Amino acid sequence: MESESSTLPHPLLLFIEGNAHMMASKPEQGAACYRRAAERGLAVAQLYLGLCYANGAGVERDEREAIRWIRQAAEQGDREAQLQLGVMFAEGRGTARDPGEAARWFESSAKSGLPDAQFKLAQAYDAGNGVPRDLEAAFRWFRSAARRGDPEAQFKLGWRYANGNGVGRDHGRALRWFRRAARQGHVRAQTQLGWCLETGTGGVRDERRAVCWYRRAARAGESIAQYNLALAYANGRGVERDARRAVRWYRRSAKQGDVDAQLKLGWCYHNGNGVTRDERRAVRWFRSAAKQGHAKAQTQLGWCHETGTGTPKSEARAVRWYRRAAQQGDTIAQYNLALAYANGKGVTQSLARAARWYRASARRGDVDAQFKLGWCYTNGKGVLRDPSRAVRWFRKAARQGFVKAQTQMGWCLETGTGVPKDERAAVRWYRKAARAKPTGQRGDAIAQYNLALCYAHGRGVPVNAERAFRWYSVSAEQGDPDAQLKLARCYAAGLGVPRDDQLAVQWFRKAARGGNKTARDELAARGVPE
């Protein structure tokens, strides 16, 4: 009775023998067997012989010979050969680069159901490479490959659903495809799945599971996952807050070149969070990110050079880094560069350029820049004097809660500078600034003084000596010499408070010591030494 092997076609026996030689690390014998089978028309042997020529396995490397044999297999309908032939046309290996011909072979292979070919064809449609760009066709082929289990296609399909490329946006479906790719070990999908779970994008929010996926991808070396895991430890999201572990993951990500991680690691060294404070190391990490074009890192590095923190002081270098960041639209850098031009630090003084950079920063919403630009228009510094434009910028900053701008808006409305006079509106702005409590402060002393004057003289509000006294007191306690003088006069005349000559003298002295000439004259008239 004949054995089963004797019934196999002779070319197939040769192919099997060739595989055995290759597995035994005998590439010359293996390639020879492939050749004999290929010459007798076995498509799979033609493909393998072509790959031998492409990689120099058992024969001298020859990509033209490789493409000749692979084409023969592809023309017989071998889908793996069709895919490989498409790759060679796409890369210009053994033939002139021809994206159109590559797409044609990818399509032949894709239609036979090969996921890798479907993915390649989807990429071609997505980029318009060899075929007209067609996001819907790209989506269809990514979906075909994804349904056949290709993890990269599953990830790409998730992105399409997440961003609405070639299909309606659907975060729920995006989440499902990210999960399928993540479970196959696709690290970018694991990272994206973590982000979806962290933010609740896709309808499921679970910070603990997010951390689990970040950790898987981070341990596999994915820098974005390492950064996100560091953020989770730094902020206690989905895991117990741990500054040291945050630093550890920031460092791993930073060493791979992640600019956000480099900036964060620099801040950790700068502030001593999770690591011993070390300004020099902070600067090294700021510089690493800055050199890669990270605008915030460039701004911080500029500040380090300006102040001599962790590096020798150099205002000229500071300006160079501020300018790089400013040109990228960083508002703090634009503001700092404006200050440098205004004060001639590290650059030739130019009020016009200062105003230009204040404007750039102000237009992006920086309240300090808006306030400074208002002053430029108020005083004609670097721009033509224009009180109405000044008011517009003061108002923008004031509406964002910038206390000094609120005070200035009050003054503009009270005096009718750049805006119709409106004492009631002035009082409203003074009151906001007077009551504002920035960190470690008790409201704006100038606004408190001006509000007291309004109550004292009935400007925008009914006369109220008690309230005038109260606001003089608050301003005086913050060291305003004019308010101290007024408070002394309240005590001396019994305005809004019982008369008290001793307290009057005390406040006259404080005002005099603060440089108020009128207070000195009052003390001299009373025959009381300062």
For residue range 81-130, what is the model confidence (pLDDT) as tens digits? 999 999 999 999 999 999 999 999 999 999 999 999 999 999 999 999 99
Name the residue type at position 54: A
Q: Coil, strand or helix: which one is 290?
A: helix
Separation of alpha carbons 478 and 437, rounded Å: 13
Assess whether pLDDT exceeds 80 at residue 208: yes
Assess whether pLDDT exceeds 80 at residue 5: no
Give the tokens for residue 216.
């898987």
Give the tokens for residue 25.
């690390």
Question: What is the reported pLDDT for 529?
Answer: 81
Assess whether pLDDT exceeds 50 at residue 2: no
Question: What is the reported pLDDT for 394?
Answer: 98
Summarize pLDDT for 326-363 with one digit per residue, the tens.
999 999 999 999 999 999 999 999 999 999 999 999 99
Question: What is the reported pLDDT for 399?
Answer: 97
Give the tokens for residue 306.
């300006």
- Band (pLDDT 50/70/90 cuts) for residue 527 is confident
Name the residue type at position 133: R
CB atoms within 10 A of CB 418: 20
CB atoms within 10 A of CB 153: 25
Contact 341, 353 (CB under 8 A): yes
The pTM score is 0.85
Mean pLDDT of 36-62: 96
Question: What is the reported pLDDT for 437?
Answer: 76
Question: What is the reported pLDDT for 10?
Answer: 83
Summarize pLDDT for 266-285 with one digit per residue, the tens.
999 999 999 999 999 999 99
Mean pLDDT of 181-204: 97
- Band (pLDDT 50/70/90 cuts) for residue 442 is confident
For residue 480, what is the DSSP state?
Answer: -
Separation of alpha carbons 163 and 177, rounded Å: 13
Quickly list DSSP for 86-122. Answer: HHHHHHTSSS---HHHHHHHHHHHHHTT-HHHHHHHH
List, as own/partner pairs, every contact residues 304-308 make where C-beta atoms lie below 8 angstroms and the sequence separation is at least 24, other chains included: 304/279, 306/336, 306/345, 306/346
Q: Coil, strand or helix: which one is 272?
A: coil
Separation of alpha carbons 523 and 516, rounded Å: 11
Assess whether pLDDT exceeds 70 at residue 517: yes
Name the residue type at position 413: L
Give the tokens for residue 164.
């609405």
Assess whether pLDDT exceeds 60 at residue 319: yes
**pLDDT higher for 528 or 153?**
153
Give the tokens for residue 41.
């028309």
Quickly list DSSP for 295-350. Answer: HHHHHHHHHHHHHTSSS---HHHHHHHHHHHHHTT-HHHHHHHHHHHHHTSSS---
Contact 421, 415 (CB under 8 A): yes
Question: What is the reported pLDDT for 3?
Answer: 45
Mean pLDDT of the chain: 95
Q: Is the dihedral of CA 351, 354, 360, 363 positive or negative?
A: negative
Give the tokens for residue 244.
């040291």
Question: What is the reported pLDDT for 9?
Answer: 58
Separation of alpha carbons 370 and 358, rounded Å: 7
The 3-state secondary structure of 375-427 reads HHHHHCCCCCCCHHHHHHHHHHHHHCCCHHHHHHHHHHHHHCCCCCCCHHHHH
Q: Among candidates 136, 70, 81, which has minimal Cα distance to 108?
A: 81
